[in-house]
Amino acid sequence: MKAKYIYNEVVSFTANCINSCISLLKVLVRSSFALKLPPTGPSSDCIVLGNGPSLALSFQKHPEFFRKHPLICVNSFSLTAEYTELKPQYYVLLDPNFWLAKSESVKQTIKAMKERTSWNIYLLVPPTAKNAVYLQQLIRENPYIKPCYFNYTVFNGFDSLGYRLYRQNLAMPQCQNVLVASLFLSVNLGFKNIYLFGADHTWHQELHVTDENVLCFKNIHFYENAEQVRYVPFYKGEHTKETFRMDEIFVTLGKSFYGYIAVNKYADHRKATIYNASEISFIDAFKRIKL
């Protein structure tokens, strides 16, 4: 048993050495040392809004809570009535589809941001979005939207080295889901109590395999009528007819949930606490609370 323990420690140390060197090289090549996150106000608390179905119930049960703290929203939140009612201070986009703007839903999201935003909001995106036509047009035509860029350079290796790079906004944990990025940015913005809502993550319950072995998915958001959402083939990309296999989807889901473990460890390191206040959630990385 002792020999096996020593072997595992040597393998782990060697892997961390190699991964740390590769990650440092990626930071030197890909990351910009000039990028800065926006300033924050006096509040030490913030709220991160996922778009899961349970968010509608949270809004219904605790309307005043969402007016007390700065809000961070993601993806297509600009299409909702709550966007103009609550006026989030931060908007995080990570999926390149949002600055390539090829799908109709993404175009509607960008259009809603441009037409409905009448207060100052920081738009947080990776540098790869900087020259995107749709986002540049959005920023040019609506002066309330302030672009801020963060380095999405994934770090793997020793935590101590990773945390130093994280703190300088030069690297991040892998963010398979935009909420991982939003929580990480919340910590780096300086918030100490971070409340997460609408992070249902019940994706595995919305999968279906047809008799022809086609994997289908029903993706439901809080602003949609669940009864009207139908199963559709789960394609690997917007312009391909190849669908995911079941093993591929669960590998992807595993990366998403591991991202929450990584960002929670970093939050602990920065003396911040992430509370999962979602009415329904399969995330087990954070402290669960009920308001």
Top-confidence residue, 133 or 279: 279
For residue 9, pLDDT beyond 90: no
Q: What is the DSSP letter of 128?
A: G
**Whole-angstrom Cα distance, residue 173 to residue 126?**
14
CA distances from 82 to 48, 51, 90, 215, 277 (A): 14, 11, 14, 33, 18
Give mean pLDDT, residues 2-21.
87
* pLDDT (tens digit per residue) in 56-89: 999 999 999 999 999 999 999 999 999 999 999 9
Q: What share of the chain is helix, strand, coil (3-state, %, to 5)?
A: 45, 15, 40
**Whole-angstrom Cα distance, residue 275 to residue 54?**
16
Give the pLDDT confidence score for residue 169 in this predicted structure.
95
**pLDDT band at residue 288 under the 50/70/90 scheme:** very high
* pLDDT (tens digit per residue) in 12-47: 899 999 999 999 999 999 999 999 999 887 889 999
* pLDDT (tens digit per residue) in 179-195: 999 999 999 999 999 99
Give mean pLDDT, residues 165-189.
96
Give the pLDDT confidence score for residue 134 in this predicted structure.
87
Q: Write down all domains in the chain, each with its CATH number in brackets.
A: 2-203+246-288 (3.90.1480)
CB 51 within 8 A of CB 76: yes
Question: Rg of the Cα trace of the chain?
Answer: 20
Mean pLDDT, rounded, of the chain: 93
Task: Report the share of the chain in percent with pLDDT over 70.
Answer: 99
**Whole-angstrom Cα distance, residue 146 to residue 98?**
16
CB 195 within 8 A of CB 69: yes
**Whole-angstrom Cα distance, residue 141 to residue 115?**
9
For residue 200, pLDDT beyond 70: yes
Q: Model pTM?
A: 0.93
CB 48 within 8 A of CB 182: yes
Give mean pLDDT, residues 253-267.
96
Give the pLDDT confidence score for residue 239 in this predicted structure.
67
Q: CB count, 10 Å around CB of 139?
A: 17
Note the helical H segments in the chain.
2-30, 55-61, 81-86, 97-100, 104-116, 133-141, 159-167, 178-188, 246-269
What region, left, alpha or beta, does residue 204 occupy, with left being phi > 0 and alpha being psi -120 to 50 degrees? alpha
* pLDDT (tens digit per residue) in 214-236: 999 998 898 888 778 889 999 88
